[in-house]
Structure 1
């Protein structure tokens, strides 16, 4: 059953080097389905854009300290003064614009492709997205949601709790918790396309059908639970009278 929601502003960040890949097909299906629902969609195809993943001094056109680069501090200065690199500013504007962020990528070594990691390093800027007590439910992206879509060569049973690799969500905790939840995003359960290089065309079509159904009901998704800063004192020590939750 499709859940009707108010129109959303959806920002899809796609990171796959092959435009004919199943991962790319998922990205196209996501655009079509969200637009069919009446949502506004913007896409950053990082490989097609030739997005620069390397965080460096070149990101700052008017550094506060030209003699030593403290990257996080220069991010704050660059955003505050409007002198940060143009490609970062453009991505940051899309990120702040959206209600729903969608990350679409293949699993590389239980992680993201390097180009997506570079997007994270450069675009999730200190001062605006995180910094000081600005993290978890107090993060700069609080109130927004994120859906992670991944393709993987492994079979689903290999990622069961007693499987050879253990749960994929646990292996991705560096992204789901350490990056996305940390910045304040409400993290939805990832959509995982299993074993895609080795299955039949019909099996891939079934995955896309399941994916469409997931996107059609995105408004009813319950986010994963992470820590709240309300459970900690000003020194980030747990408040004994309040429960503390560590999902991953």
Structure 2
């Protein structure tokens, strides 16, 4: 299988750097083909702006969606964007690896998403009508591929528990897993999270690698998070709210998981 690992950490000698190297070796030893997009090493341009198109549709006012659609449909995207899209088309599985900084991904990785997920590639796809609202949330251009997060956090696991001060890790990662990965069609696997990164000694690192290695070995066997697909009947369209009889006792993020 083909695996794309998009990696966002500025220090190659960090824990993240070591886990990235371990993951690549483990996957390759298992016979998979791996490409790594090391965003800091690539000096990836994070901001989405007018320079992402080689020939803009309009010059008076920059509209990100209109320009993204125009560039994607006419082969006018900057080379770095088109190259990452080709990697996503090639990949059978995507791994996003990053440290949890201020309750989200580093800005450089968010910028990768904003620029690579072009209109017509990751959004703005499919029929919009009274029966469907585009091909998204379980459908889309990346349907049939798998995705997983590898995340490191400095805090204790209890800090991110059901009653932890930081809020549940599943809630913190929901916008990434549901909004960035499930939206364009990925089957999203449960994340691999390492806590208390500042306290990782050799013994703990070995244990982390053992657990991560098993997750990578099971990349095509692990059951995805059962997010509810948008166009399969659970949601009223075009309101895109859950039907009254679907999980009536639940609200918030949890309601969107079957």
Give the TM-score of the pair, scaled to structure 2: 0.88
Shifted more, 108-117 versus 217-226: the winner is 217-226
Secondary structure of the residue aligned to 1:75 is: helix
Q: Could you report, residue by residue, the CA deviation over 1:150-191 in whole angstroms, capped at 9, with x for unpaired residues?
A: 111111111110222221111111111121111111110000
Equivalent position SS for 2:40: helix
The equivalent residue for 2:30 is: 37
Secondary structure at 2:51's aligned position in 1? helix
CA deviation map 1:61-115 (0-9, x unaligned): 1111222221122111111111111111111110111110000111101100010
Out of 115, 121, 136, the position equivalent to 1:122 is: 115
1:183 and 2:168 are equivalent in the alignment: no
Distance 1:51 1:239, change over 3 A: closer
Partners in 2 of 1:49 and 1:83 — Cα distance? 21
CA–CA distance in 1 between the matches of 2:112 and 2:73?
Answer: 20
Say which SS state the counterpart of residue 219 (structure 1) adopts.
Answer: coil
Matched, 1:246 2:239: no
Q: Which residue of 1 aligns with 2:162?
A: 161
Quick one: distance in 2 between partners of 1:125 and 1:154?
A: 34
Superposed displacement of residue 227, structure 1: 2.4
Deviation at 1:240, TM superposition (A): 4.3
CA distance in structure 2 between the partners assigned to 1:47 and 1:104 by the alignment: 13
CA–CA distance in 1 between the matches of 2:193 and 2:238?
38
Shift, 1:242, TM fit? 7.1
1:58 pairs with 2:51: yes
Whole-angstrom CA distance in 1 between matches of 2:96 and 2:52: 23
Counterpart of 2:3 (choices 1, 6, 10) is 10
Normalised TM-score (structure 1): 0.91
Residue of structure 1 equivalent to 2:203: 202
Aligned to 1:235: 238
Q: Deviations over 1:102-142 (max 9, x none)?
A: 00111101100010000010001111111151211222211
Contact 2:72 2:119 in 1 (8 A): no
CA distance in 2, matches of 1:236, 1:29: 45
Provide structure 1 residue ranges, at least 5 long, that are not aligned to the other structure: 1-7
Instruction: Choose which of 93, 106, 116 in structure 1 pairs with 2:86.
Output: 93
What is the aligned counterpart of 1:83 among 65, 68, 76?
76
Gaps (5+ residues) in structure 2?
126-133, 248-254
Residue 210 of structure 2 aligns to a residue whose secondary structure is helix
Structure 1 residue 199: Cα displacement: 2.9
| 2:48 partner SS | coil
Higher helix share: 1
- Of 13, 17, 22, 1:20 maps to 13
Query: 1:25 Cα deviation (Å)?
Result: 0.9
Report the number of matched residues. Answer: 241
Distance in 2 separating the partners of 1:121 and 1:237: 23
